[in-house]
């Protein structure tokens, strides 16, 4: 039996209601989704917010609104914000978001931070000072090499060892496959990282199961997949969570009730 932790990523930066009518776009919808997924066992929420037109946003006010509603609906659920640029924001905007919110937890793309090393160093230093639990987003071997170099030169504090490995790509339509995981794990093995996995495409659940069985943590949701291979779309994020947890139980695995998730100790929102 393997114990694991589960984070839900219910919307992402790019999909909308045209992709799935149950994809949450507004703060109330995000809170409702968080509650439904938490009731099934999801321990944390990976949070994206949208502007009035439904476009990906890093606006601090919108984040505060969503975080407040989620924490009101599910006080014990961890919240991790994203700083993803989605091709819309530069490193300065990402840094400004972190400065304004000083969140308990944030996902930060190494590849995106590398666009401006001086601002990247400021962002990581800010997170260290603020106590923000950073989860580095790693897409490729080059991301791993960059993170290793930044540990070596001090750009990234040595204690920031949480990463999420991304299998597949949304932009190119490249689907994730479970066979992609072992080479990725071999790349990060020398770095002593605490790793999670997300996977784009209809084999999301198979990839996540492989991650659990390899000793990793997992992130699931409509950001990465709307339905299984050869089947209809899930009714909502909670249906995907339930299906995956049923799969893990059938294989003898269980959620870890004692493991802290990013953002699990929520701060008072200011």
pLDDT at res. 162: 99
pLDDT at res. 261: 57
State which residues of the chain have pLDDT below 50: 264-270
DSSP class of 62 = H
pLDDT at res. 262: 56
User: Domain range for residue 45?
Assistant: 3-255
Q: What CA–CA distance (Å, rounded) separates 34 from 13?
A: 17
pLDDT at res. 193: 98
Domain presence at residue 150: yes
Domain presence at residue 260: no
Token duo for residue 94: 């990402």
pLDDT at res. 1: 83
Q: What CA–CA distance (Å, rounded) separates 143 from 114?
A: 9
Domain presence at residue 37: yes
Number of domains forming the structure of the chain = 1
Domain presence at residue 264: no
Domain presence at residue 266: no
Least Cα distance to 250 among 219, 220, 209, 193 occurs for 209
Q: What CA–CA distance (Å, rounded) separates 101 from 150?
A: 24
Q: What CA–CA distance (Å, rounded) separates 269 from 260?
A: 20
Contact 125, 117 (CB under 8 A): no
Contacts of 108 (CB under 8 A, 6+ apart): 83, 94, 123, 124, 127, 134, 135, 136, 137
Q: What is the CATH number of the domain that holds 178?
A: 3.20.20.70
Q: How far is CA 52 from CA 20, 26, 57, 62, in A?
A: 18, 9, 10, 10
Domain presence at residue 192: yes
Domain presence at residue 217: yes
Domain presence at residue 270: no
């Amino acid at each position: 039996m393997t114990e694991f932790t589960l984070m839900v990523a219910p919307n992402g930066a790019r999909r909308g209601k045209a992709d799935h009518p149950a994809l949450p776009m507004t703060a109330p919808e995000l809170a409702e989704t968080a509650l439904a997924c938490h009731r099934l066992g999801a321990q944390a929420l990976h949070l994206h917010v949208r502007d009035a037109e439904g476009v990906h946003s890093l606006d601090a006010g919108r984040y505060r609104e969503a975080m407040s509603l989620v924490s009101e609906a599910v006080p014990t659920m961890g919240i991790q914000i994203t700083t993803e640029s989605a091709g819309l924001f530069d490193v300065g905007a990402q840094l400004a978001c972190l400065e304004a919110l000083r969140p308990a937890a944030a996902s930060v793309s190494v590849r995106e931070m590398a666009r401006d090393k001086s601002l990247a160093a400021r962002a990581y230093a800010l997170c260290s000072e603020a106590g923000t639990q950073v989860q580095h987003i790693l897409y490729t071997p080059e991301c791993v090499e960059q993170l290793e170099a930044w540990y070596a030169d001090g750009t990234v504090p040595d204690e920031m060892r949480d990463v999420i490995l991304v299998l597949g790509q949304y932009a190119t339509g490249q689907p994730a496959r479970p066979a992609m995981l072992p080479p990725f794990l071999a790349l990060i093995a020398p770095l002593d990282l605490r790793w999670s996995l997300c996977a784009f495409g209809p084999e999301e659940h198979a990839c996540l199961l492989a991650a659990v069985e390899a000793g990793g943590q997992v992130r699931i949701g409509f950001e990465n997949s709307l339905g299984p291979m050869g089947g209809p779309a899930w009714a909502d994020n909670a249906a995907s969570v339930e299906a995956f947890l049923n799969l893990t139980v059938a294989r003898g695995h269980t959620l870890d009730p004692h493991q802290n998730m990013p953002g699990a100790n929520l701060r008072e929102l200011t």
